[in-house]
């Protein structure tokens, strides 16, 4: 009698994710959503720090130093443009979330019909 090896729970979870990524575009949608979150945070950081002399808001510039040299900014931040970019990223994220939900719903329906 040959002993059978029982797969670990971690292996089963990884096999499930590999299955979902093979039969759908869920993996690429999730990575696009992750990138959208990163862009959202970067835009929000630029908007939040637009009025600060120093990037983190704690240190005061020395008397002979220009404010731009302390903050490291390349120029003034156009808050209107940044807020429009923020709204665009939010719509992109919500669209991707809707697509991901419909992808998971389709997989769920396909497995339930079996």
Per-residue pLDDT, 67 = 46
Per-residue pLDDT, 114 = 67
Domain membership of residue 13 (yes or no) is: no
The answer to whether residue 66 scores a pLDDT higher than 80 is no
* Total domains, the chain: 1
* The model's pTM: 0.63
Pick the more confident residue, 66 or 107: 107
Q: How far apart are alpha carbons 94 and 101 in whole angstroms? A: 10
Q: How far apart are alpha carbons 50 and 19 in whole angstroms? A: 45
The answer to whether residue 36 scores a pLDDT higher than 70 is yes
Pick the more confident residue, 61 or 14: 14
Per-residue pLDDT, 89 = 95
Domain membership of residue 88 (yes or no) is: yes
């Amino acid at each position: 009698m040959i002993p059978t090896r029982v797969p670990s729970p971690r292996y089963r979870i990884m096999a499930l994710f590999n299955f979902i990524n093979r039969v759908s575009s869920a993996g690429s949608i999730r990575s696009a959503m992750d990138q959208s979150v990163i862009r959202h945070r970067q835009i929000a950081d630029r908007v939040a720090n637009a009025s600060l002399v120093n990037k983190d808001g704690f240190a005061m510039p020395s008397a002979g130093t220009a404010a731009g040299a302390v903050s490291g900014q390349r120029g003034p931040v156009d808050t209107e443009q940044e807020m429009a970019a923020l709204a665009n990223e939010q719509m992109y994220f919500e669209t991707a979330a809707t697509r991901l939900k419909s992808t998971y719903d389709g997989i769920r329906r396909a497995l339930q019909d079996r």
